[in-house]
Amino acid sequence: MGETLISKSTLQKAVQSFGLPRLIIAGFLLSLFITAPFVGSNFFTQLSNTINRFGWNAVLVLAMVPMVHSGCGLNFGLPLGIISGLLGATLSIEMGFTGFASFVMAVVFCTPFALVLGLGYGWLLNKIKGGEMMIATYVGFSSVSFMCMMWLLLPYKSPTMIWGYAGKGLRTTISLEGFYSGVLSNFLAIRTPHMLIPTGAILFFALLAFGMWAFLHTKTGTAMTAVGSNATFARAAGINVDKIRILSVGMSTWLGAVGILVYQQGFGWMQLYMAPFNMALPAVSAILIGGATVNKASIINVVLGTFLFQGIVTMTPTVINNLMMVITGQGLDISEVIRVIASNGMILYALTRKSEVTR
């Protein structure tokens, strides 16, 4: 009797620490995987799609980690990093680099932009401690709409990127064929009839994730965690809180820039103008689904979250559609709506959790 009571309470505790919404989402995904074969979608194709999209998106989700660690909250300002990435990418193509070199050069070119923008952004966030997330959102939005003007005005010349008839202004989508489309995903890729594992992209992510993990265990990294968990205490311990926060924002921005490049090499297209606008929300909800909170995030959260989120993204359209076909006899693409509700519900849930941070 007593034993069952204890086990019940431990179960409850486990549910509590894991979070009910997270449990629902994980359960939902699991049921999707189970139903998939019954409604006629191949399990391995689904899994392979999920893994591929994981490869595209994981770095963008990783970009959340430094800012969460230093207590700056979720990086709703991810579009700023994406902008730097796009600047690097366009510059690399403009300079005439092709193939793998264009990817490397894009990373090289985006770095100064990411660092400068990140420093400014970090400086701003230091001025407004406590209100980071809302302002981050709008910093992202303003920078995207500002760059919309710049894409039209900057003197790009490369014929692959500019509008043919006008002779100026960048296109809204630019094909990366011949540039860095697939350079990571196809590197050492494992192909079977139903599966395609983008080894290169996953290795690249693993490299960055390992770097992040290693960094968090250096002196600066632990200082960052200290700042995030208790800023007053960190200050008392002689840590320069503002500097650490700026560093974390710079890292997040740079990872965002590299993240979009990785995304593009998988996707095969570069999207400019309003495209980066809402890219922060999926990344934010992905890391939250993975078990992060507003002030705590680990590499495991990133991996798990990206996998779960991308699983839902790839599975719901096909599985739900087929399921509806079986049940009602007509296709019903309700997946979009499920995704919107699930991911934003997750963010809402995270926001309502009490955070232990006192600033």
Q: Which helix (H) or strand (E) holds 66?
A: helix 65-69
Residue 128 found at the interface with other proteins (CB under 8 A): yes
Bridge partners (DSSP) listed for residue 270: 174
**What is d(CA 339, CA 347) in angstroms, rounded to the nearest whole number?**
12
Residue 139 found at the interface with other proteins (CB under 8 A): yes
Rounded to a whole number of angstroms, the minimum distance from the CB of residue 218 to other proteins is 30
Question: Which of 2, 17, 130, 192 forms a contact with other proteins (CB under 8 A)?
Answer: 130
- The Cβ-side half-sphere exposure at 293, using a 13 Å CA radius, reads 13
Q: Which residue has the tokens 């009797």?
A: 1
Cβ 221 vs Cβ 247: under 8 Å: no
Q: Which helix (H) or strand (E) holds 197?
A: strand 196-197
Rounded to a whole number of angstroms, the minimum distance from the CB of residue 13 to other proteins is 21
Question: Which of 39, 119, 135, 206 forms a contact with other proteins (CB under 8 A)?
Answer: 135
Rounded to a whole number of angstroms, the minimum distance from the CB of residue 341 to other proteins is 4
**What is d(CA 159, CA 5) in angstroms, rounded to the nearest whole number?**
71
Question: Which of 279, 292, 303, 320 forms a contact with other proteins (CB under 8 A)?
Answer: 279
Q: Which helix (H) or strand (E) holds 271?
A: strand 269-271
**What is d(CA 123, CA 104) in angstroms, rounded to the nearest whole number?**
29
Rounded to a whole number of angstroms, the minimum distance from the CB of residue 272 to other proteins is 11
Q: Which stretch binds other proteins (CB under 8 A): 95-103, 187-195, 248-256, 270-278?
A: 270-278
Residue 296 found at the interface with other proteins (CB under 8 A): no
Site track 149-168 with other proteins (rule: CB under 8 A), x = hit? x--xx---------------
Burial of 159 per CB tally in 10 Å (0-12, 13-18, 19+): exposed
Cβ 195 vs Cβ 175: under 8 Å: no
Q: Considering only residues 165 through 204, tell me which ones interact with other proteins, judged by CB under 8 A.
A: 169
Residue 278 found at the interface with other proteins (CB under 8 A): yes
- Which residues bind to other proteins, rule: CB under 8 A? 57, 76, 124, 127-131, 133-135, 137-139, 141-142, 145-146, 148-149, 152-153, 169, 271, 275-279, 281-283, 313, 330, 332, 334, 336-337, 339-341, 344-345, 347-348, 351-352
